[in-house]
């Protein structure tokens, strides 16, 4: 009985975190975009406009839930829930600190990418169920984009898995700091097992993993339908893409899924490449910075800071780069990212055999 209660609390906690982050993320994006474009952003509702997103969600909760007359009602109504739940369930296997993980499984990485792929099904349901040409075009673009960019993302992830020799995200996390059970070598040569800090992060354990990280990050933007890969909801062409017909809380669920996905893919990048919950501070002689800043509370802090840093970069890119054409998007995926990611995977195999 206690197990069920614990799982219930974890589920409520993750949902609350997703909702809070979406509110914070929308506000942060408005302020960041305003800064980049030399504007003020929200200013009126609350101090510095801080209550604007709360006002927006209260407004959405009161809006009428309109179902188009020609829509497939069941598909239309279920789509937002499928999109959000697929992303939300991905958080279950993410480690937040040493010994702190909602659901410990030795195939956590495999589980996450299996479950979030269901989001594509929800997007297709939204497009087809709306019975709207803009929606179905947006849904088909999204399916083609997400499925395509899963290939280089998958190769980049396998590059890390071949080095780590496990799919358990908590084990991958522990391998990147002073709690590692095996030797950690910076760039394959310098033993940093007792030093820790950023020197022991996967992105520095082998030079090609830095390239794999960049490939994964670019692919994660496409997986999240974020600019410059936001052709599924290109407002200049498709009104709003697959969610054109959604109103009220259904529209809010789609946005909640988008911002949750931003945090999810960024946190996966942090866990695989940027040391997870391990501190960036190394042990320097008698000054044991890594030892002092490793623990449950510190772990949560480092994960959140690193992940929010990557989310900030996602927002920065959105308001800086123009949207790619669909042919440019596919060329980048199949002719650039996929071959390079495949090469990284092959190098990982050689690196594991000869230098570890």
Q: In the block, which residue shows the tokens 């959000």?
A: 84
- Whether 234 shows a pLDDT value over 80: the answer reads no
- Distance CA(174)–CA(99), nearest Å, equals 10
Question: Which tens digit of pLDDT belongs to each residue from 142-157?
Answer: 888 988 999 999 999 9
- Evaluate if residue 112 carries a pLDDT over 90: yes
11 phi-psi bin (left φ>0, alpha ψ -120 to 50, beta other): alpha
Q: Is the pLDDT of residue 237 over 70?
A: no
* pLDDT tens, residue by residue, 270-294: 999 998 999 999 988 888 899 899 9
Question: What per-residue confidence (pLDDT) applies to 217?
Answer: 96
Does pLDDT of 239 surpass 70?
no
Q: What is the pLDDT of residue 137?
A: 85
Which pLDDT score, from 0 to 100, does residue 235 have? Answer: 64
Query: Is pLDDT above 90 for 213?
Result: yes
N- to C-terminal Cα distance for the chain? 45
Alpha-carbon separation of residue 299 from 17, 168, 179, 308, 323 (angstroms): 17, 17, 12, 14, 36
Q: Any idea where the domains of the chain sit in the sequence?
A: 1-62, 66-355
Say if CB 30 and CB 42 are below 8 A apart.
Answer: yes
3-class DSSP assignment, residue 287: strand
At 210, the pLDDT band (50, 70, 90 cuts) reads very high
**Model pLDDT for residues 295-348, shown as the tens digit of each residue:** 899 999 999 999 999 999 999 998 898 888 888 999 999 999 999 999 999 999
Banded pLDDT at 24 (limits 50, 70, 90): very high
Angle (CA) 143-224-146 rounded to 5° is: 25
Q: What is the mean pLDDT of residues 3-19?
A: 85
Cα of 350 vs its chain's centroid, Å: 29
Q: Are 68 and 78 in contact (CB under 8 A)?
A: no
pLDDT score at 188? 81
State the Cα angle at 148 between 207 and 127, rounded to 5°.
Answer: 140
Helices (H), the chain: 2-36, 52-62, 73-90, 108-116, 118-130, 133-164, 169-174, 202-205, 207-223, 235-238, 248-273, 289-292, 296-318, 326-331, 338-355
pLDDT at 32: 93
Tell me the pLDDT band of 191, cut-offs 50, 70 and 90: confident
Determine the angle formed by the axes of helices 108-116 and 248-273, rounding to 10 degrees.
150
- pLDDT of 238 > 70? The answer is no
DSSP string covering 27-91: HHHHHHHHHHTT-----SSSGGGTTHHHHHHHHHHHS-----TTS-HHHHHHHHHHHHHHHHHHG
Tell me the average pLDDT across 63-89: 87
Q: Note the pLDDT of residue 1.
A: 61
pLDDT, the chain, mean: 89
DSSP conformation class of 187 = T
Q: Rounded to whole angstroms, how far apart are CA atoms 95 and 271?
A: 8
- DSSP state at residue 325: P
The structure tokens 């002689």 sit at 285
């Amino acid at each position: 009985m206690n197990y069920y209660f614990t799982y219930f609390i974890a589920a409520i906690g993750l949902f609350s975190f997703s909702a809070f982050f979406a509110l914070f993320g929308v506000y942060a994006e408005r302020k960041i975009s305003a800064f980049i474009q030399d504007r003020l952003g929200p200013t009126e509702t609350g101090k510095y406009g801080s209550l604007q997103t709360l006002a927006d969600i209260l407004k959405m909760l009161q809006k009428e839930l309109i179902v188009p007359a020609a829509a497939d009602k069941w598909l239309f109504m279920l789509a937002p829930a499928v999109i959000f739940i697929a992303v939300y369930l991905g958080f279950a296997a993410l480690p937040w600190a040493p010994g702190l993980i909602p659901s410990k499984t030795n195939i956590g990485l495999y589980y996450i990418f299996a479950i979030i792929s269901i989001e594509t099904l929800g997007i297709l349901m939204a497009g087809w169920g709306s019975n709207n040409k803009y929606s179905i075009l947006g849904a088909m673009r999204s399916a083609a984009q997400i499925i395509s960019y899963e290939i280089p993302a998958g190769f980049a992830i396998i590059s890390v898995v071949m080095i780590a020799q496990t799919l358990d995200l908590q084990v991958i996390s522990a391998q990147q700091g002073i709690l590692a059970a095996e030797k950690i070598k910076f760039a394959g040569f310098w033993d940093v097992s007792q030093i820790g800090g950023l020197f022991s992060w996967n992105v520095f354990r082998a030079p090609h993993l830095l390239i794999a990280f960049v490939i994964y990050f670019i692919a994660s933007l496409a997986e999240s339908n974020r600019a410059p890969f936001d052709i599924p909801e290109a407002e200049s062409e498709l009104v709003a893409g697959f969610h054109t017909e959604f109103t009220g809380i259904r529209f809010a669920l789609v946005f909640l899924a988008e911002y949750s996905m931003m945090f999810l893919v960024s946190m996966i990048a942090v866990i695989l490449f940027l040391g997870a919950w391990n501190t960036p501070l190394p042990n320097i002689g008698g000054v044991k910075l890594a030892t002092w800043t490793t623990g449950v509370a510190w772990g949560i802090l480092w994960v959140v800071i690193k992940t929010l840093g990557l989310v900030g970069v996602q927002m920065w890119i959105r308001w800086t780069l123009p949207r790619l054409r669909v042919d440019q998007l596919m060329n980048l995926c199949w002719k650039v990212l996929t071959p390079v990611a495949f090469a990284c995977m092959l190098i990982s195999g050689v690196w594991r055999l000869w230098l570890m």
